[in-house]
Chains A and B, each alone.
Chain A
């Protein structure tokens, strides 16, 4: 990952992204629910920005864009909605190439069974070493929640894993677990969702707040067509359909912010792997 060069291309790109996404970027403040000001989102997936993501800088992605390189993404976890015409990785690629015109995106999509708090974080390292991506988009927490892993153990393992990825100059976007009615009152489950948010904030990585977004969509779509498997399954399908768009918007918005506030640390002299490793926890 070569450090970004402050070239004309870079600023042109920044302007492009900003122009395309300024309304969304501004939506970090609570916005009008269901507002039609999110150009990246299709009608059924619209969620106010504040309930959809938190932003953070994506320096490695920015570096890849400024160098006109292909953007390599490792997408971990998640599956397509039943009956969807395109799979999650294909949709994410399309959504990103739409949001970042002139950028070539390749996506390596892997499942990661097992708990982050035990074996899975080791397996994650393997995947990252094999793929050597610019960005890891990680849907995390579901397996640990189902295995009833202690939220603190989960948080510290996740924090360590994210810090490790970032210490190698690779960006991370986290995606928290889904919202579903039968889990809404489950204390342990909510602690896992909170842990993902806390780690994202501590490690300064963008977060797609899938739980909040689905919660919002569930409140909005009380009426509507039925689902043969019940309302929770219909909501789940909707969540899966919207995943790619939500992730793409989060990345594009975070990039706009990275471009808008160039970091002095990213001076051309800086070697690529000097991002300090933060202590886990």
Chain B
């Protein structure tokens, strides 16, 4: 078990935010930072995933581990995330179908676009295995599978030059924006909600910045200098979010995606806003850590077990939505849903670590 650290803390924070935001309409939604800026917790989550790949594939001295080991490590992680995605999808569909049957209410079948699955299970089950069929709110893990799946390319290039890895990633990102490349959905028309060709830039950015951060003090010095810029961007983000000002996608010049705020394509405005958030809030952990004992321990616990906690969070948020729907919602129900959800996330983290401990002690015995 790792000691508490900033990465796990912020990842735990992102997980809690995603959980609350995935119970739409609930009272606590308006207290999450996602409501006060252009970017949200998804950016934070993917960036930290990249940073973690850096930690996992490099020693403390910045020396990378053998290339083969990095590739196998990432492959193993890809398989693990893919397995989680299949499990979560199956459970989500079963929860939706089960609630519809139990409540004699076919309306629920349409929730999160699950209707397509029940209407056409033959194609949809293939799409589910291919991850081209996704439910609303259940689209981060497919992105994650693809990102970790392609990560070895960038990790291997990064062994020679981090700048080259970043340039390659940035090139794919810009080309995808200009030519509107995305992975198609199937069955059903349209594209992925999170375009992996665009979102990979954030993963690679996390990986590269972690490397630079290890090598020298330059990055930290610049981050301190740019702190006011970060703060200004955060303030601008709040103003834009509160006033609802955003570019009209039918009015902006071509190439359209360079100018809009679309989450699907992680457009430059969102990326810039996220970097601003990073500059403004990264120093906060050092200030908070000594003062928030239990909360800090809880969040870093979630962050250490992010895949299990995220998967459980998706299922718990779906159950929370159905509870809100059937009871009609209200502040009391919201407190119950959010409260039991947060306890459930904490329990998941504890359970995973308990299981790992007993397994390893049994091996030793």
A binds B: yes
For residues 45 through 102 of chain A, which have their beta carbon under 8 Å from a beta carbon of chain B? 77-82, 84, 87, 89
- Chain B residues with Cβ below 8 Å from A178 are 106-107, 110
B135 within 8 A of A: yes
Interface-central residue, B106, B264, B329, by most chain A CB under 10 Å: B106
Determine if A126 and B260 form an interchain contact, defined as CB atoms under 8 angstroms apart.
yes
Interface string of B310-324 (1 = CB under 8 A from A): 000000000001001
Q: With both chains docked as a complex, state the minimum distance between the C-beta of B32 and any C-beta of chain A, in angstroms.
A: 12
A185 within 8 A of B: no
Determine if B119 and A130 form an interchain contact, defined as CB atoms under 8 angstroms apart.
no
Interface-central residue, B25, B136, B248, by most chain A CB under 10 Å: B25
Say which one of A106-114, A199-207, A251-259, A261-269 lies at the interface with B: A106-114
- Chain A residues with Cβ below 8 Å from B112 are 113
Determine if B262 and A126 form an interchain contact, defined as CB atoms under 8 angstroms apart.
yes
Determine if B325 and A148 form an interchain contact, defined as CB atoms under 8 angstroms apart.
yes
Interface string of B101-118 (1 = CB under 8 A from A): 101111111111101101
Which A residue's beta carbon lies closest to that of B97?
A229
Determine if B256 and A84 form an interchain contact, defined as CB atoms under 8 angstroms apart.
no
- Chain B residues with Cβ below 8 Å from A12 are none
Determine if B120 and A182 form an interchain contact, defined as CB atoms under 8 angstroms apart.
no
A236→B103 CA distance, assembly (Å): 14
- Chain A residues with Cβ below 8 Å from B111 are 142-143, 146
Which B residue's beta carbon lies closest to that of A230?
B104
Determine if A113 and B325 form an interchain contact, defined as CB atoms under 8 angstroms apart.
no
- Chain B residues with Cβ below 8 Å from A84 are 119
Determine if B106 and A110 form an interchain contact, defined as CB atoms under 8 angstroms apart.
no
For residues 242 through 261 of chain B, which have their beta carbon under 8 Å from a beta carbon of chain A? 246, 248-250, 256, 260-261
B339 within 8 A of A: no
B68 within 8 A of A: no
Contact of A182 among B25, B104, B180, B261 (CB under 8 A): B104
Contact status of A114 and B120, CB under 8 A, knowing A146-B321, A148-B25, A182-B103: no
Q: With both chains docked as a complex, state the minimum distance between the C-beta of B143 and any C-beta of chain A, in angstroms.
A: 15
Determine if A232 and B105 form an interchain contact, defined as CB atoms under 8 angstroms apart.
yes
Contact status of A183 and B107, CB under 8 A, knowing A113-B136, A113-B137, A147-B24: yes
- Chain B residues with Cβ below 8 Å from A147 are 24-25, 321, 324-325
- Chain A residues with Cβ below 8 Å from B246 are 122
B328 within 8 A of A: yes
Which A residue's beta carbon lies closest to that of B108?
A146
Contact of A79 among B110, B250, B261 (CB under 8 A): B110
A160→B338 CA distance, assembly (Å): 31
Contact status of A79 and B248, CB under 8 A, knowing A111-B190, A149-B25, A177-B107: no
Determine if B107 and A180 form an interchain contact, defined as CB atoms under 8 angstroms apart.
yes
Determine if A79 and B104 form an interchain contact, defined as CB atoms under 8 angstroms apart.
no
For residues 223 through 241 of chain B, which have their beta carbon under 8 Å from a beta carbon of chain A? none
- Chain A residues with Cβ below 8 Å from B136 are 111, 113-114, 143
- Chain B residues with Cβ below 8 Å from A130 are 180
Interface string of A106-133 (1 = CB under 8 A from B): 0011110111011100110111111010
- Chain B residues with Cβ below 8 Å from A129 are 249-250, 256, 260
Q: With both chains docked as a complex, state the minimum distance between the C-beta of A132 and any C-beta of chain B, in angstroms.
A: 8
- Chain A residues with Cβ below 8 Å from B110 are 77, 79, 142-143, 178
A10 within 8 A of B: no
- Chain B residues with Cβ below 8 Å from A11 are none
Determine if B120 and A87 form an interchain contact, defined as CB atoms under 8 angstroms apart.
yes
B217 within 8 A of A: no
A168 within 8 A of B: yes
A174 within 8 A of B: no
A26 within 8 A of B: no
Determine if B107 and A113 form an interchain contact, defined as CB atoms under 8 angstroms apart.
no
Which A residue's beta carbon lies closest to that of B329?
A148
A130→B250 CA distance, assembly (Å): 9
Determine if A82 and B189 form an interchain contact, defined as CB atoms under 8 angstroms apart.
no
For residues 72 through 115 of chain B, which have their beta carbon under 8 Å from a beta carbon of chain A? 101, 103-113, 115
Contact of B250 among A146, A168, A236, A240 (CB under 8 A): A168
- Chain B residues with Cβ below 8 Å from A37 are none
B283 within 8 A of A: no
Q: With both chains docked as a complex, state the minimum distance between the C-beta of A2 and any C-beta of chain B, in angstroms.
A: 17
A194 within 8 A of B: no
Which A residue's beta carbon lies closest to that of B249?
A129
Determine if B119 and A82 form an interchain contact, defined as CB atoms under 8 angstroms apart.
yes
For residues 232 through 248 of chain A, which have their beta carbon under 8 Å from a beta carbon of chain B? 232-233, 235-236, 240
A275→B260 CA distance, assembly (Å): 23
Determine if B24 and A115 form an interchain contact, defined as CB atoms under 8 angstroms apart.
yes
- Chain A residues with Cβ below 8 Å from B329 are 148
A61→B156 CA distance, assembly (Å): 54
Determine if A79 and B24 form an interchain contact, defined as CB atoms under 8 angstroms apart.
no
A116→B104 CA distance, assembly (Å): 26
Q: Lowest 10 A-B CB distances belong to which pairs?
A: A113-B136, A79-B115, A236-B106, A129-B249, A111-B113, A148-B329, A147-B25, A80-B119, A147-B24, A79-B119
- Name A's B-contacting residues (CB within 8 A): 77-82, 84, 87, 89, 108-111, 113-115, 117-119, 122-123, 125-130, 132, 142-143, 145-149, 164, 168, 177-178, 180-183, 188, 229-230, 232-233, 235-236, 240
Extra A-B contacts (8), CB below 8 Å, given A129-B249, A230-B104:
A82-B119, A123-B264, A125-B248, A127-B190, A142-B107, A147-B324, A180-B105, A180-B106
Show 8 A/B contacts (Cβ-Cβ < 8 Å), sorted by A. Answer: A77-B110, A79-B113, A79-B118, A82-B119, A114-B136, A122-B261, A148-B25, A148-B324
